[in-house]
Structure formats: structure tokens, C-alpha cells
């Protein structure tokens, strides 16, 4: 939704609207109402109002910190930038709760001058001596003031001992604080009976009161880094006195703390002006009769916090082209995710990418370069190269971003937290430093200078230039990860359910696989061989299995029940003449190869030694008779239903294993490529889906195909999904898996396979990123070809050679069209000729430069298998 100026409104944007109150004319956009016609805005006093987007104007975006990647709000599809500095000013008010206009306390206050209601909150970084730690648990103590003037202290009040009644003083979005002075709270009588009474004594009738004070009772700290961990042991994890710790900063990129409108706070150091305390509300006093031996109850007051009424955020931005802007209003920027590998920023360390087996790209010999600038449209970067030990000046080179990758030895970025490493000292010296809460050794990277130095802003406010070996990066981690590593919260919930799983498996298969002998089993088909193998395997099983009854032939009725989803089938039909004769893809050559090379789409052979799951002995024995029946059914489906672009091999000696290869479809960055997958059917199959491993050769060909070989797909339970997207023991099959990979993963626009990115289709961010992602994917495709020609997978040696022998000229013609005519990737027809879609845009200069390096290797590799020329 867009505001009055046409700018998109994002969650937690500070928006302004017209109203009568000077400090009630703005608030946070916290959510949209059903129908997306109204936006709910939270005001400084915590109330919410619904407004039309056209009545709002975005005035501040405070959720930016050093290291945030941004784009111009007026050009969201343009170059990206990185935030290198943030300056935020807060306007603070007091609310009396009577509905009157908030009273201004201070304006232009630095966030460093205020704190939340609690001194320390979850995720805070703290320092003790030479150790930096992270608060992972907080114990809250609450002083409760009752209406009769008595008061008690409830320890660990956050453990569901107290509950807020009525309206909370805190804003609805404020999750940092459980309680706030002024809140009305209630609890069981037993809670107050067990509490320490500061005034008066416990009575059963005292079950509701007002929060007078909130303090941090104790914290649990995970110690993340030290100046010199070798000589000084970390402090205890539990810190009963939080005031002995020095606060460094709140949260990080994972759990970042921002000051927002309606947040409650106190000054870290109280100003001398008593006016800041004018909002304090004294307790209601009960008149007491003077009497002998009766002392007056001490007076308590409820000192309410201040509220953030407005934020003003200015940021410093370093753009990809190397230009810098300082003091940029945050409302003129939008946060953006930079996911393309080649989206680099000035100062980042890079090396030459080694894609092909014989790649001799610059950087392969240990050279590290520093990015000076990047042209995102051309996909080229100016890099200053340095060789280790080189004394001469660095040389700037303009090259393709596709030929670069970030240095694995220099994985730091703007905003990263660092600690200055202390030179080796003895234990006595370390002990003398331990008592100091100095912040001059912890800081954040604010600039990446050159190959040797970075600029760091330290906790004491100073900035210095340091060598890389003088600092260590503090790796961000989640609270749950740290608590789990500490040990006491690890629970072992593992239960051996093998027996019940096996029983469920048998029942499931029995309910849907009748033992009919009426199946059309022909002696000349592969399944005739399957029957022999099945009987051979069953004879080797235990007598218990054979005692279940005599062997019966299988029915093939499941072949109809296990067909792939209609949407996926329709998509595959466009490039599979075996399914449809009306496809418009170039498939004549594919049909010819079956006649010449005679490589069957499905066959049963001996298992290859390079199969990923070959050594998985626990799975290799299969899962019993019902499992064998299901495997035979799967083989039958594969024999009769595979499209022309998918080939599968089953293995006589390892019935649990399969190997599949998918031919990349025209109109995608995967065209003419081969993509291999190893599968294993576990003993629990089909209750659980098959295991699938992609042969990646270390490349990332798709958001769903990881370099590790992991295939991210709902059908395999490796990705979220619901309903028909998930594996169904009754309806799903191996055929559905391989067709889903081809139809849902190896797509024309793989960029949008990333979670949530489908929302960018047709938007500036998507248009900016989709083409570079496809270009990089095609380069990965070409280099995968080189690996396969050089080291073909076992059992497919002849197929790989023949495929590239037939498609080699076509591949080279496509490269020529991309390189010379500038056609975008995936817009060529089946003859590698430009189409109307090829005229819409041009591929990048960087892509053409990268092709110029890969094509000679392709020519050499294809020549080795008899492919001559490009025509």
C-alpha cells in the first residue's frame, strides 16, 4: 500500500497524519486490516487507530543499522547501498493517563542517553573484564504498591506470577519489557504471601496493585568472545548483580533493538532538572490513626517512564558505484535484500571464481582483491588486486562480477561486531585487566579501507584503523542456539518407534495395494525382470517373512493412483512428446538419440560405486515384503510414464537406490544441461518420502538446490508446505518427485524460487534481480557440463557423451546468441535463435565477459567428444 506521496508503506514505518494533537499526529504502521484497505497505526499512548493509506505520509524508517542494505525509495530497482552510519534523535514525553496532551520532556535525545524499563533486556551485549557476553535470560523483580499503601517485592515476576490487568502502559508492539511502572497487576494470594514485604504485611485480600518499580534481578549470560580467552576463564554464566556488568549495545542483526514511537524508557543518567520527574505519581495514602507502638508506613511513589513520541533517523550510505551520501533521511530509503552472489559492495574482499576444472582466473593463485565500485546494470566491478607479500601498488581491473566470489578468509561486512585481540600476556596481567569494564576493545566495523585495514568504532566512542589480524569477528547467534549450547536446557526426546512405524507401514500399504494377480505383466518388459528380482530378494529374507503366506503377483493399479499432479504434468508436457505430440519444444534430436544410442528411459542395472547412498548400509536391506511390493510398483510407473527429458536407473543389487537425470528444458537457464539426482527409498517408504541428493559439483544452481546436494522441496519434507504440496504415502511417488524437480525447481525464472520472492514478480526489485540470477545460473549450467564431460557419473558415461555430442553445436550457438546478439538467457527457441522475447532486454556486459572465458573451454571439451564447430 502507498501513502499520500506514492511511497510504499512498510511494517513499523513511522507515519504522520492530520489530527488536533501536536504529539498524536503520528504513529507506527503495525498491521493492515483484512482487505488491505486500512492500516492500523499505534500512537504514542499505545492506542490504535485505523487510517486509509492515502491519508498517511511516511516520515521516518528507524529500523536501519550499519550493514543494512538499502535502495532509494524512488528507484527501488536501481543500485543498492549499504548503511555505514546511523544518527537517531528521540523526542520524549510524559503521559499522565488523563487524556490530556502529553508533556514534552526533551527533544533530540540520543538513544545512548536512555534505557528501557529494565536495565538489561534479552539479547543485550555486556562486558565483564576482558569478556564480551550476551544476555540470554532475564529475571525480573517487581515492586507492587497496593491501594492501602503497603508494598512487596515479587521476584521472578516474569514467570507467570503476575499478570497485567486493564490497559498496559507499554505499547502493544513493545516486547522488550514485561511490566512497566504504572501497570495494574494481579496475582494469586500465594504469590504475594511468598514475597518480601517492603511495607506492611501480607493479607489474603491483597491480590491487585500497581507496579511501582521494575528491576533486573539477575541475568544469564552466554560469553561469546574475549580479548584473550587463552589466559582468562569466562565469568560465571549467572550474574546475580547485573550492575556489575557494563552495557555495550542492544542486540544485533538477528535481535536488533530499535527505539520506536510509544516505547517507554528512563534516562540512563537522571538529569538534574526536577521537571523530568514531574510526572511521578505519588501513592494513594491511607489515613492512619496515631497510636502507641504503631509506626507510619514508608511512602512509595510510582515514577512513570517517559514515552518516545517521535524519531528522526539520518543514515550514511555507501552506494555500489562507490559514491557516499551522509545524513540521508531514512524515509527516502527502503530496506532491500541482496541475494545475488555477484551483488558486491565497495570494500568487500574477493577472489577469482574457479568454476571450470582448468580455470586459471585471476585470483586462483591466492590473489585477494578489494572491490572499488560495481555497475549493477553491466554486472562489472572495478577491483584492486593485491598478491600476498606484494610490495608494489595494487592494480585496478574492471571485470565481470560472475568471475568473482567473496574471499572465504575475509567474511566480514559493515556493521559486524568485533573484539580487539590482546597480545599474549601472562595470567597476572590478564587478571589485572579483568576488573576493568573498559569498552575500548569492543566495537563495530564502520568502513572497509583496503586489503589490510578496516575502520572500527569502539565502545568508548573512538574510531581507529586496525589490521585484520588484530581483531576477531563476533558471529551473530540466536538466543535459542546459545541456550542450547549452554547445556542445561537440552532435552532428549528421542523415542524408538521403529516397531510402531513398521506396523503402520504394513497397514498403510495393505489398505491400498490389493494382492491381485490380474496385472498386465508382459514377459518382454522390464517388469518381467522385476518380478524375478523381487522373488530372488524375498527368498533371501528371514523365514518369518516367508511365513506370512505364499508369494503372489502384484497388481499395477497403483500406477493410476500415483500419477503426478495435473499442474506439474501439464508443464512437463510442453517439452515431452512422449506425453503430448503438440509441444513446441525442440525434441526431434532427442527422439533420434533413442534410435541410435538406445539409452532407455528406465532400466535396471548394477549399482554404481559413486552413488551417494551406496554406503548407507542400514537402509540397504529394505523394509520387508510390503516395501518390496511398493518398489516394484514404483518401477512399473517409471517404466511407463517418464517424459522424454527424464531418465532413471534402478539397481538389481540395491533395490532401495535410484539415479535420475533431468535434461534442462528450453526457455530456462537450464536448457541443454544435465542434472543428476541420487535417490534412496528408506525402509519406512512410502510412509516417509525418498531421500534425494543432487550432484551439484559445489555449485548453487537454484535456490532449492544447495551446493551440499540438499534438495529443498515440500514433497520431500525438506521445505514448508501444506495439503497436496506435502508427501502423501497413498498418492505420492518417485515419478512425482522427479517431475516436481523438473517443473517446480528447474524453472524459467529460478530467482523467484527463493522463499517469499514470488511477491516481487513484476516489481522493480524482481526485475532488477531476476536477470542476473538467470545469467549466473546459466554459467553454472555450462560449468556443470564441463564437469560431467570430464568426470561422467557411472552408468551414464555413454549417455552424457552422446547427449553433448548431439547438443554441443546447439549449446555453442546459444552462447553465440547471448554473447554477440545480447539475447537474455532463456529467450531462444529450440534452434538457439532469438525470439520476440529476446528483444525486450539485453543481457549484461559482465555476462558476455564471463561467457568469453567459458566458451573456449566448451569448444575444447566438445571437440574431445567429436563436436566440430558451431554450425
What residues are annotated to the active site? 712
* Dist CA 225 CA 419 (whole Å): 7
Place of cell 553433448: 804
* Dist CA 761 CA 772 (whole Å): 15
- The cell numbers describing 822, all together, are 545480447
* Dist CA 793 CA 642 (whole Å): 21
- The cell numbers describing 588, all together, are 526431434
- The cell numbers describing 607, all together, are 549399482
Place of cell 585487566: 433
Q: Directed axis angle between helix 526-539 and helix 625-641, to 10°?
A: 170
Distance separating the N- and C-terminal Cα atoms of the chain: 52
- Is the alpha carbon torsion for 275, 277, 280, 282 positive or negative? negative
Per residue, what are the HEC states of 277-334?
A: HCCCEECCCCCCCCCCCCCCCCCCEECCCEEEEEEEEEEEEEECCCCEEEEEEHHHEE
Whether 695 contacts 721, CB under 8 Å: no
242 Cβ neighbours under 8 A, 6+ residues apart: 119, 120, 216, 218, 219
7 beta partners: none
Whether 261 contacts 42, CB under 8 Å: yes
Place of cell 526489485: 765
* Dist CA 267 CA 781 (whole Å): 58
252 Cβ neighbours under 8 A, 6+ residues apart: 123, 125, 417, 476
Please choose, from the candidates 256, 289, 323, the residue with its C-alpha nearest in 3D space to the C-alpha of residue 79.
323
Whether 751 contacts 762, CB under 8 Å: no
Please compute, for residue 400, the number of CA atoms within 13 A of its CA located in the half-sphere on the CB side: 20
What is the chain's length? Answer: 871
* Dist CA 186 CA 209 (whole Å): 7
Please choose, from the candidates 510, 591, 522, 516, the residue with its C-alpha nearest in 3D space to the C-alpha of residue 557.
516
Helix (H) or strand (E) holding 254: none
The secondary structure of residue 834, as a DSSP letter, is B
Look at residue 731 and give its three-state secondary structure: coil
Q: How far is CA 580 from CA 67, 571, 577, 662, in A?
A: 52, 11, 5, 18
Whether 566 contacts 740, CB under 8 Å: no
Whether 316 contacts 303, CB under 8 Å: no
841 Cβ neighbours under 8 A, 6+ residues apart: 771, 824
* Dist CA 474 CA 486 (whole Å): 18
- The cell numbers describing 128, all together, are 565483564
- The cell numbers describing 772, all together, are 542476473
- The cell numbers describing 764, all together, are 522493480
Compute the C-alpha angle 57/58/63, nearest 5°: 165
Go through 648-658 and write b for each residue having 16 or more CB atoms within 10 A of its CB, e for each that does not. bbbbeebbbbb
65 Cβ neighbours under 8 A, 6+ residues apart: 83, 86, 253, 256, 415
371 Cβ neighbours under 8 A, 6+ residues apart: 344, 345, 346, 347, 348, 349, 350, 381, 382, 383, 404
Amino acid at each position: 500500500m502507498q501513502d499520500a506521496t506514492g511511497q510504499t508503506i512498510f511494517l513499523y514505518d513511522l507515519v504522520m497524519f492530520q489530527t488536533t494533537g501536536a504529539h498524536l499526529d503520528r504513529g507506527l504502521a503495525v498491521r493492515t486490516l483484512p482487505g488491505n484497505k486500512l492500516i492500523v497505526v499505534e500512537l504514542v499512548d499505545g492506542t490504535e487507530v485505523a487510517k486509509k493509506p492515502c491519508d498517511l505520509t511516511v516520515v521516518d524508517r528507524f529500523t536501519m543499522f550499519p550493514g543494512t542494505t538499502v535502495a532509494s525509495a524512488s528507484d527501488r530497482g536501481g543500485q543498492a547501498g549499504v548503511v555505514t552510519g546511523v544518527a537517531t534523535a528521540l523526542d520524549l514525553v510524559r503521559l499522565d493517563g488523563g487524556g490530556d496532551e502529553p508533556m514534552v520532556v526533551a527533544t533530540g535525545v540520543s538513544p545512548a542517553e536512555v534505557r528501557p524499563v529494565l536495565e538489561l533486556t534479552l539479547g543485550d551485549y555486556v562486558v565483564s573484564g576482558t569478556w564480551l557476553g550476551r544476555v540470554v535470560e532475564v529475571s525480573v523483580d517487581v515492586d507492587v504498591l497496593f491501594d492501602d499503601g503497603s508494598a512487596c517485592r515479587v521476584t521472578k515476576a516474569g514467570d507467570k506470577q503476575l499478570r497485567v490487568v486493564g490497559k498496559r502502559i507499554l505499547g502493544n508492539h513493545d516486547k522488550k519489557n514485561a511490566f512497566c511502572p504504572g501497570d495494574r497487576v494481579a496475582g494469586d494470594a500465594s504469590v504475594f504471601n511468598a514475597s518480601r514485604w517492603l511495607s506492611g504485611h501480607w493479607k489474603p485480600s491483597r491480590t491487585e496493585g500497581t507496579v511501582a518499580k521494575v528491576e533486573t534481578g539477575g541475568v544469564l549470560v552466554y560469553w561469546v568472545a574475549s580479548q584473550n580467552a587463552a589466559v582468562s576463564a569466562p565469568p560465571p554464566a549467572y550474574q546475580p548483580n547485573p550492575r556489575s556488568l557494563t552495557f555495550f549495545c542492544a542486540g544485533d542483526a538477528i535481535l536488533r533493538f530499535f527505539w520506536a514511537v510509544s516505547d517507554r524508557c528512563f534516562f540512563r543518567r537522571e538529569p538534574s532538572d526536577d521537571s523530568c520527574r514531574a510526572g511521578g505519581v505519588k501513592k494513594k495514602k491511607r489515613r492512619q490513626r496515631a497510636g502507641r507502638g504503631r509506626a507510619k508506613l514508608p511512602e512509595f511513589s510510582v515514577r512513570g517512564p517517559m514515552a518516545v513520541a517521535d524519531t528522526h533517523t539520518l543514515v550514511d550510505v555507501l552506494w555500489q558505484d562507490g559514491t557516499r551520501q551522509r545524513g540521508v533521511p531514512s524515509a527516502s530509503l527502503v530496506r532491500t535484500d541482496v541475494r545475488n552472489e555477484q551483488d558486491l559492495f565497495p570494500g568487500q574482499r574477493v577472489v577469482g571464481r574457479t568454476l571450470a576444472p582448468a580455470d586459471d582466473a585471476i585470483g586462483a593463485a591466492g590473489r585477494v582483491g578489494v572491490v572499488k565500485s560495481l555497475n549493477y546494470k553491466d554486472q562489472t566491478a572495478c577491483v584492486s588486486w593485491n598478491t600476498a607479500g606484494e610490495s608494489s601498488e595494487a592494480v585496478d581491473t574492471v571485470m565481470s562480477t560472475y568471475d568473482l566470489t567473496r574471499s572465504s578468509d575475509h567474511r566480514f561486512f559493515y556493521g559486524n561486531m568485533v573484539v580487539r585481540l590482546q597480545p599474549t600476556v601472562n595470567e597476572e596481567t590478564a587478571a589485572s585487566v579483568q576488573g576493568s569494564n573498559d569498552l575500548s576493545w569492543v566495537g563495530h566495523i564502520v568502513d572497509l579501507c583496503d586489503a589490510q585495514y578496516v575502520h572500527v568504532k569502539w565502545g568508548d566512542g573512538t574510531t581507529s584503523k586496525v589490521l585484520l589480524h588484530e581483531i576477531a569477528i563476533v558471529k551473530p547467534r540466536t538466543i535459542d542456539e546459545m541456550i542450547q549450547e549452554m547445556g542445561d536446557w537440552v532435552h532428549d526426546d528421542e523415542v524408538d518407534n521403529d516397531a510402531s512405524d513398521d506396523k503402520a507401514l504394513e497397514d498403510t500399504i495393505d489398505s491400498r495395494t490389493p494382492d491381485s494377480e490380474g496385472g498386465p505383466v508382459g514377459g518382454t518388459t522390464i517388469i518381467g525382470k522385476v518380478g524375478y528380482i523381487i522373488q530372488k530378494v524375498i527368498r533371501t529374507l528371514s523365514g518369518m517373512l516367508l511365513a506370512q503366506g505364499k508369494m503372489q503377483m502384484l497388481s499395477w493399479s497403483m500406477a493410476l493412483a500415483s500419477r503426478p499432479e495435473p499442474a506439474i504434468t501439464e508443464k512437463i508436457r510442453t517439452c515431452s512428446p512422449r506425453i503430448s505430440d503438440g509441444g513446441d519444444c525442440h525434441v526431434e534430436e532427442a527422439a533420434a538419440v533413442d534410435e541410435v544410442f538406445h539409452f532407455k528411459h528406465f532400466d535396471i542395472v548394477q549399482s554404481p560405486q559413486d552413488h551417494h547412498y551406496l554406503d548407507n548400509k542400514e537402509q540397504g536391506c529394505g523394509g520387508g515384503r510390503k516395501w518390496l511390493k511398493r518398489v516394484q510398483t514404483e518401477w512399473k510407473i517409471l517404466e511407463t510414464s517418464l517424459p522424454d527429458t527424464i531418465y532413471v536407473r534402478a539397481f538389481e543389487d540395491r533395490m532401495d537406490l535410484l539415479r535420475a537425470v533431468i535434461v534442462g528444458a528450453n526457455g530456462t537457464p537450464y536448457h541443454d544441461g544435465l542434472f543428476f539426482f541420487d535417490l534412496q527409498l528408506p525402509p519406512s517408504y512410502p510412509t516417509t518420502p525418498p531421500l534425494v541428493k543432487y550432484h551439484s559439483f559445489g555449485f548453487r544452481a537454484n535456490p532449492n538446490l544447495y551446493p551440499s546436494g540438499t534438495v529443498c522441496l515440500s514433497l520431500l519434507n525438506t521445505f514448508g508446505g501444506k495439503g497436496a504440496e506435502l508427501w502423501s504415502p497413498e498418492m505420492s511417488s518417485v515419478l512425482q518427485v522427479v517431475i516436481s524437480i523438473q517443473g517446480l525447481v528447474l524453472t524459467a525464472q529460478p530467482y523467484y524460487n527463493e522463499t517469499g520472492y514470488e511477491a516481487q514478480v513484476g516489481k522493480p526489485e524482481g526485475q532488477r534481480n531476476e536477470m542476473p540470477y538467470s545469467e549466473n545460473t546459466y554459467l553454472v549450467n555450462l560449468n556443470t557440463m564441463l564437469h560431467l564431460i570430464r568426470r561422467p557419473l557411472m552408468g551414464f558415461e555413454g549417455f552424457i557423451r552422446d547427449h553433448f555430442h548431439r547438443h554441443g553445436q546447439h549449446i555453442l550457438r546459444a552462447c553465440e546468441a547471448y554473447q554477440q546478439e545480447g539475447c537474455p538467457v532463456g529467450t531462444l527457441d529450440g534452434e538457439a535463435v532469438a525470439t520476440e522475447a529476446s528483444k525486450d532486454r539485453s543481457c549484461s556486459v559482465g555476462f558476455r565477459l564471463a561467457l568469453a572465458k567459458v566458451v573456449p573451454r566448451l569448444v575444447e571439451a566438445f571437440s574431445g567428444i567429436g563436436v566440430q564447430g558451431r554450425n
